Amino acid sequence: MNVSYTGVADFTPAQQKKLTSRFTKLAKLLDRNGEKEAHVVLTAQRHLQRAEITVNYYGHPLVALESNPDTLTAITSALDKLEKQILKVRTKWRDTTRTPDAKAWAVSQPKEKAAAKPAKSGNASKTPAKPAKSDSRKAEPTGGRIYRVNSTKNRKPMTLDEAMMEIGTDRDHISYLDADTDRVHVLVRRKDGHFDLIES
């Protein structure tokens, strides 16, 4: 990560190593967008050292300001604030952009209904009861129909702890979108009271 300092920045090698690791961690949070530049402005006000750190995230500047008698402490505190801001913006962006497109949903619905109608009319046109049963057995070799349960439409991603709270005592399983990996997971309650986690 490219870090530019404005003001007096005299650090020992150990302090510089600590700051480099902190800015590397910040760069990983910004890695999705590819923006890896930070500008640090250091100013002195009487006995306080003031640190102001600015980064760009999705074209928007994020600024963290912190004051402390020690310059290194002021910078690390400002970095903590900046990490919280980035995580908050990232969570807000993830929660607001994961809704299905209304037009795509409207287009896909008639196709499903149209595909379902011929199957119903084809079964209804056959008058003998026994051939209809034998045809349905051939159409469903696995032994049953598929019913969609626990739809994740309009749901926010959740963590494993939130999924365990959601499953409660009245359900045997839950499928959810994991907040950390953005993948679908299934949490199943076993008969012995423990849980199985199936990750996709």
pLDDT on residue 136: 44
What are the backbone dihedrals phi and psi of residue 132, each rounded to the nearest 5 degrees, phi first? -65, -40
Spatial contact of 155 and 177, defined as CB atoms under 8 Å apart? yes
What pTM did the predictor assign?
0.46
pLDDT on residue 156: 75
47-51, 79-83, 90-94, 187-191: the lowest-pLDDT one: 90-94
Query: Closest Cα partner for 163 from 145, 193, 188, 139?
Result: 188
- Helix or strand run (H / E) with residue 162: helix 160-167
Question: How do residues 169-183 score in pLDDT, each as one tens digit?
Answer: 677 888 888 888 888
